[in-house]
Structure 1
Amino acid sequence: MEFCLNSRKPHALGIVLAVLILGLLSFRVAECQTSSFMEPIKYKALRCRKHSAVLTDFGATGDGKTINTKAFKSAIDHLSQFADDGGAELIVPPGKWLTGSFNLTSHFTLYIDKDAVILGAQDESAYPLIEVLPSYGVGRDGGGRHSSLIFGTNLTDVVITGGNGTLNGQGKYWWDKFRAKKYNDTRPYLIEIMYSNHVQISNLTLIDSPSWNVHPVYSRNVLVKDLTILAPIDSPNTDGINPDSCKKVRIEDCFIVSGDDCIAVKSGWDQYGYKFGMPTKDLLIRRLTCISPDSATIALGSEMSGGIKNVWAEDITAIDTQSGIRIKTGIGRGGYVKDIYVRRMTVKTMKYVFWITGDYGSHPDDGWDPKALPVIKNINYRDMVAENVTYSARLDGISGDPFTGICISNVTIGLTEKPKELQWNCTNVAGVTSQVTPRSCDLLPPSDKVFNCPFPDHPHWDVKLKTCSHIGSKKIEL
């Protein structure tokens, strides 16, 4: 089967050629026909594409039962030839498209229609085992690790977007096996992009991931925008968005309901992380809404051994969530978390508004170094309002390795009807507060002067998204 994709030149739009050759039996029969997907498409993206194809043109069936992994792979393999000629987009039309893991290519857009659902296959063999991450040493669940449903590595200019189309990981199959300890390798994520530059993941609904939902790792210039991420609040390790050893990441306008941290910022695990030495830095998180009764709105760590620095978070809403910004680390982690700036956070029903944990003790193996102590400093929170809170703060540093430079200002915390008597539980930390209610602990004494904790200008990552459109049909040759 040959495919002849047309360029998106105005004079070529909507042209349909039909040629019927009848004659000698030795002649090949050919027919050009319109694509099965005809509706106009318009979306915002880092780049628009010159070429376009529809998944059904590669033999896919959207009945929710037929496995379409081969169709996805064939389509993307074919479209990769247009990388140097304006790039290409693959349109996933309305339907339910069951598939295993497939890999993306550079200068490429995967567009998922508003009425399209990509269903993750419930079969381990549909997700090949791949190399463990060098900054982790093992799979995060232990053992090896499976390729994600949508995967890509060493890519440039890749867009995963849609009209709020859906990725459904059908995670219950995996959660049940994980809870029963019947599985020894790391479950697949929904989207993982590795060693890549200029990545956009936007305008999608992600449901029931087997484990983490979105995992950009060892990448830079990443935009994650307008995602709705949903998982049962008791589902294991269904983190929403996990930027991991990445540089220049923007996460904005997302709504997340999760069984784990809504956003977890990471950079490698113990000796593997600090040896690999790739921090997450220059991260902007804004306009996030989180619901996660057993976990954090934004977690820094616990795998932070490569370092985390220069993080800005603003205009954050947390509802019925265990904690606000939580720093998770421990002896053996090494690395650092520093230069963290948070402002304009609204909290409704929460166990801990502020939580720093210095005894997070999970390790990849027995090779971790008990002398590798983390550095936690210059942590800034300001302009926050909370209501129905059980504890204002639990801040636990490490004996002999205090966490310093903690600044909290202009924070009002309303307590639950039965709050804990000790509202601020602080050990091995140092810092200062201003205009904080209830009064902070003695290790974070109120300042004599009213001030605001710093929130410096974040880098001006003014991403200019283009308006891309697909109008009319393309032609295929069968």
Structure 2
Amino acid sequence: MINSENLSFQLVDVLLVLAFCGHIAWTVKASSQCKQALSQEIRPHSVAITEFGAVGDGVTLNTKAFQNAIFYLNSFSDKGGAKLFVPAGRWLTGSFDLISHLTLWLDKDAVILGSNNPDDWPVVDPLPSYGRGVELPGGRHRSLIYGRNLTDVIITGDNGTIDGQGSVWWNWFKRKTLDYTRPHLVELMNSTGVVISNLTFLNSPFWTIHPVYCSHVIVQNVTILAPLDSPNTDGINPDSSNDVCIEDCYISTGDDLIAIKSGWDEYGISFARPSTNIIIRRLIGHNQNGSGIAIGSEMSGGVSEVYAENLYFFYSSTAITIKTARGRGGYVRNIYILNVTLVGVDTAIRFDSTFSPHPDDFYDPNALPVIERITIKDVIGNNIKVAGLLKGIEGDTFHHGLHGTAHIFKDTLPWFPQKLVNLSRKVSTPTILQIVTIYPIICGVQAVSRGVVIFCLMLMPLYSLVDQKWGRPWSLVYLQNNGELRAAVDALLEIGHRCCCYVFVEVHTACADRADNSGY
């Protein structure tokens, strides 16, 4: 006869090994994927922008000089490629195109300035996965530095600067005087073998770096800055792109530092190109209105296999966000976020399915996003207002919910889940969980007046415990007295020992009229 207890131990061992091996595999892949930037090719041909009549006085418009230089360098694309050298100076220009097998090199104290004349930013067709401009129907202004259908493109230098001078665009946007969607600072479309490194990007009119329909993209050692009140100045937005590495970056903007996207509603669903295999490492930054790392809300083509680690966000609105909406469709799955430090962040983790903007009225309200297999662990925060905020969709499900969450917050309010029925009980790897945090519920929260809340975050053995003892099948358990609290803590600790994982329990007392505190 098979001993069920021994079988459960064997299953736990297998799951732990699989989870550990999966983490190792991702780590190895991240290392190899990001190292490619270290071996940038030396171009056999090089010219300076001054050879084509450019003047670096910050006043002379040099669009023609950039266009002519790149047209000339295109003749070397089959001869090992070429480098366009931009020396120290302030080089005013409108939008210009890159070519394959090109290195755009900005020397120290070189600044490429975006023109303040909207006519210098041509209008192009909307992206097929969006169906229209993000902000307005119709086309969109082309980015300052633009390229499409390219191979082997490097934008780098000795910490030179690309300044979009976006304040005029922000003012036009706020006054609602624009006819087309604002331009990005750098956009590469349907390209492969892209490296962006060792530069500073300032004041983008809209998103700063936007690789869309791209593969094998590396962004390393860049600084991205925009005023904290500048509208929608996202830092780096991989969009329907795969095999992207972002590391060693500092970003301070008015919106998301990094936002992973894949198209908008029915257009993204039909285009069906996901963002996948995204590596983010050693990211530092802050914002006022967005998130440190966001997925969505335009994620209709799907987002998967995202690995982010060693993140530091300070004095920001939100640290980690997954944002979706009814009509988005698509999926967000296999997300791994590890080793996060937060200081002065309003909301640490937010899952929000109520982002309502749609490209038009033809979206399918029954196209519901699938959220599954999300791992967020080793998060340490100080002065965090809200640990977590979960907003679901009526009738939809967070499949598998949050796996293996390990977060510790000091001076923090509790999790505020909404539509708890949307948290699925199905768990594929139940033993990944390393820390279970018990938070108090603040007086006045709907449906809970006193006591504490256990947000067990999908630890499978707890479900049987919950079903048998409290008869509540969800992962949120209300405990109205210290006897239940003590029993729950003891049970959780026992589960932790049996599952060979560490269970941490933290209890705060938030309600002024709650005098009974056993010390748990």
TM-score above 0.5, yes or no: yes
**Which residues in structure 2 correspond to 1:252-331 (within 5 Å)?**
252-331=247-326
Does residue 159 of the first structure (1) align with residue 154 of the second (2)? yes
1:341-380 deviation per Cα after TM superposition (whole angstroms, max 9, x unaligned): 0100001011111100011111001111111111000000
Shift of 1:395: 1.0
The residue aligned with 2:353 is 358
With normalisation by structure 2, the TM-score equals 0.76
Note the residue ranges of structure 1 that are not aligned, 5 or more in a row.
Answer: 1-42, 454-478
Match of 2:416 among 419, 424, 434: 424
Shift of 1:285: 0.4
The residue aligned with 1:470 is none
Change (3 A) 1:187 1:451: farther
The residue aligned with 2:407 is 411
| Contact preservation (8 Å) 1:410, 1:452 | no
More helix by share: 2
Opposite residue 318 of structure 2, the aligned amino acid is S
1:298-318 deviation per Cα after TM superposition (whole angstroms, max 9, x unaligned): 000000000000000000000
CA distance in structure 2 between the aligned counterparts of 1:396 and 1:199, rounded to whole angstroms: 36
Opposite residue 67 of structure 1, the aligned amino acid is L
Change (3 A) 1:288 1:400: same
CA distance in structure 2 between the aligned counterparts of 1:194 and 1:414, rounded to whole angstroms: 43
**Which residues in structure 2 correspond to 1:105-116 (within 5 Å)?**
105-116=99-110
SS at match of 1:350: coil
The residue aligned with 1:11 is none
| Contact preservation (8 Å) 1:139, 1:186 | yes
Shift of 1:424: 3.5
The residue aligned with 2:460 is none
Does residue 70 of the first structure (1) align with residue 84 of the second (2)? no
The residue aligned with 1:435 is 435
Shift of 1:136: 0.1
Change (3 A) 1:398 1:105: same
Note the residue ranges of structure 2 that are not aligned, 5 or more in a row.
Answer: 1-36, 440-453, 457-473, 477-488, 503-520
1:271-315 deviation per Cα after TM superposition (whole angstroms, max 9, x unaligned): 000100000000000000120122100000000000000000000
SS at match of 2:238: coil
Change (3 A) 1:441 1:184: farther
| Contact preservation (8 Å) 1:155, 1:196 | yes
Shift of 1:141: 1.1
Does residue 399 of the first structure (1) align with residue 391 of the second (2)? no
Match of 2:135 among 130, 135, 141: 141
Opposite residue 424 of structure 1, the aligned amino acid is F
Moved more, 444-453 or 276-285: 444-453
CA distance in structure 2 between the aligned counterparts of 1:398 and 1:326, rounded to whole angstroms: 16
| Contact preservation (8 Å) 1:228, 1:256 | yes
Opposite residue 64 of structure 1, the aligned amino acid is G
**Which residues in structure 2 correspond to 1:24-423 (within 5 Å)?**
46-143=40-137, 144-405=139-400, 406-415=402-411, 419=413, 422-423=414-415
| Contact preservation (8 Å) 2:438, 2:455 | no
CA distance in structure 1 between the aligned counterparts of 2:42 and 2:362, rounded to whole angstroms: 47
More strand by share: 1
1:61-82 deviation per Cα after TM superposition (whole angstroms, max 9, x unaligned): 0000000000000000000100
Shift of 1:452: 6.5
| Contact preservation (8 Å) 2:292, 2:313 | yes
Change (3 A) 1:72 1:451: farther
SS at match of 1:79: helix
Shift of 1:400: 1.4
Change (3 A) 1:322 1:438: farther
| Length, aligned pairs only | 407
Shift of 1:435: 1.9
With normalisation by structure 1, the TM-score equals 0.82
Change (3 A) 1:452 1:317: farther
CA distance in structure 1 between the aligned counterparts of 2:312 and 2:501, rounded to whole angstroms: 20
Change (3 A) 1:61 1:222: same
CA distance in structure 1 between the aligned counterparts of 2:424 and 2:349, rounded to whole angstroms: 14
Identity value in percent: 47
Change (3 A) 1:45 1:99: farther
Opposite residue 346 of structure 1, the aligned amino acid is T
Opposite residue 182 of structure 2, the aligned amino acid is R
CA distance in structure 2 between the aligned counterparts of 1:46 and 1:134, rounded to whole angstroms: 32
Moved more, 348-357 or 68-77: 348-357
Change (3 A) 1:408 1:351: farther
1:181-224 deviation per Cα after TM superposition (whole angstroms, max 9, x unaligned): 11131111110000101000111101110010000000100001
SS at match of 2:154: strand
| Contact preservation (8 Å) 1:394, 1:425 | yes
1:46-98 deviation per Cα after TM superposition (whole angstroms, max 9, x unaligned): 32201000000000000000000000000000001000111100000000000
Change (3 A) 1:264 1:451: farther
Opposite residue 99 of structure 2, the aligned amino acid is T
1:408-451 deviation per Cα after TM superposition (whole angstroms, max 9, x unaligned): 433111125xx4xx543343224675424453536446952266
CA distance in structure 2 between the aligned counterparts of 1:127 and 1:151, rounded to whole angstroms: 10
Opposite residue 435 of structure 2, the aligned amino acid is Q
CA distance in structure 2 between the aligned counterparts of 1:130 and 1:227, rounded to whole angstroms: 27
Opposite residue 354 of structure 2, the aligned amino acid is D
